[in-house]
């Protein structure tokens, strides 16, 4: 028996939420892992320079101003790695400007920039459409387009984001009114929606 689309969607959203949570610390954790891993990989190749047996090339004493030179050597490697990462970041940003293309692709893949509406956009679009409709009642083309905008807004009152917004508005400002572009049933469904991540 195949898995229902609702269950599949629920699992995908749950998995992406966990991924998002891990991703929040990714930048810091990634830098620390890169730094420590490369430091420990490089250290065996140069550690002999920080011992008393070093007799050629660049050598360091066993301790420098009372600090074991091993610690100083490890710190130098670690901060060299961090500087290299910073240099690559500078080139990525200032020289090649790759972030502009990355942002372009990111926007193209974001449904709330292309076709979907977040609760804030729903409210603004519906208000503008209704204003346009009322100020141009004799223009059939404008009225028709305004009705299309309102239908678009109504479509996104059935989603989880709008339900979250309604519940938050209720909590912050008292009961949210039924807006002109939606219905009492839709508002009721929004209030009755439960969110598994808040259970």
Q: What is the pLDDT of residue 5?
A: 58
198 within some domain: no
Tens-place pLDDT, residues 64-92: 788 888 888 899 999 999 999 999 989 98
Which of these three, 109, 137, 171, is where a domain ends?
A: 109
Regarding whether 121 and 180 lie in a shared domain, the answer is yes
Residue 39's pLDDT band, with cuts at 50, 70 and 90, is very high
Regarding whether 159 and 90 lie in a shared domain, the answer is no
- How large is the average pLDDT for residues 149-156? 96
165 within some domain: yes
Look at residue 185 and tell me whether its pLDDT is greater than 60.
Answer: yes
Look at residue 133 and tell me whether its pLDDT is greater than 70.
Answer: yes
Regarding whether 103 and 68 lie in a shared domain, the answer is yes
199 within some domain: no
Look at residue 117 and tell me whether its pLDDT is greater than 90.
Answer: yes
> Distance between alpha carbon 85 and the CA centroid of its chain, in Å?
22
Regarding whether 84 and 16 lie in a shared domain, the answer is yes
Regarding whether 105 and 9 lie in a shared domain, the answer is yes
Of the candidates 38, 77, 58, 186, the one whose C-alpha atom is nearest the C-alpha of residue 122 is 186
Which of these three, 79, 109, 139, is where a domain ends?
A: 109
148 within some domain: yes
Regarding whether 137 and 99 lie in a shared domain, the answer is no
Regarding whether 83 and 19 lie in a shared domain, the answer is yes
Of the candidates 66, 74, 81, the one whose C-alpha atom is nearest the C-alpha of residue 50 is 74
Q: What is the pLDDT of residue 199?
A: 46
What's the rounded Cα separation, in Å, for the pair 86 and 152? 45
What's the rounded Cα separation, in Å, for the pair 130 and 146? 7
Q: Which residues contact 67 (CB under 8 A, 6 or more apart)?
A: none
Least reliable range by pLDDT among 14-28, 44-58, 123-137 = 44-58
Count of domains observed in the chain: 2
Structure-model confidence comparison of residues 10 and 142, the more confident one:
142
Tens-place pLDDT, residues 40-63: 999 998 888 887 788 888 888 777
Regarding whether 48 and 32 lie in a shared domain, the answer is yes
The parent domain of residue 73 ranges over 5-109
Regarding whether 135 and 83 lie in a shared domain, the answer is no
Q: What is the pLDDT of residue 127?
A: 96
Which of these three, 91, 109, 127, is where a domain ends?
A: 109
Mean pLDDT of the chain: 89
Residue 1's pLDDT band, with cuts at 50, 70 and 90, is very low
Look at residue 8 and tell me whether its pLDDT is greater than 90.
Answer: no
Regarding whether 123 and 100 lie in a shared domain, the answer is no
Q: Are 159 and 132 in contact (CB under 8 A)?
A: no
């Amino acid at each position: 028996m195949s898995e229902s689309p609702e269950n599949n969607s629920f699992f995908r959203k749950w998995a992406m939420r966990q991924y998002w949570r891990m991703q929040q610390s990714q930048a810091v954790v990634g830098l620390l892992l890169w730094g420590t891993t490369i430091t420990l990989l490089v250290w065996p190749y140069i550690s002999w320079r920080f011992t008393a047996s070093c007799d050629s090339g660049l050598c360091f004493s066993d301790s420098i101003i009372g600090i074991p030179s091993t610690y100083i050597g490890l710190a130098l490697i670690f901060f060299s790695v961090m500087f290299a990462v910073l240099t690559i970041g500078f080139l990525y940003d200032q020289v090649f400007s790759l972030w502009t293309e990355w942002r372009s692709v990111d926007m193209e893949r974001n449904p709330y920039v292309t076709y979907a509406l977040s609760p804030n956009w729903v409210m603004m679009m519906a208000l503008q459409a209704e204003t346009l409709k009322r100020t141009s009642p004799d223009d059939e083309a404008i009225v028709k387009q305004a009705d299309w905008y309102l239908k678009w807004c109504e479509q996104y009152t059935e989603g989880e984001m709008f339900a979250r917004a309604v519940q938050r508005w209720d909590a912050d400002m008292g009961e949210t009114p039924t807006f002109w572009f939606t219905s009492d049933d839709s508002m009721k469904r929004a209030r009755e929606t439960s969110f598994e991540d808040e259970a």
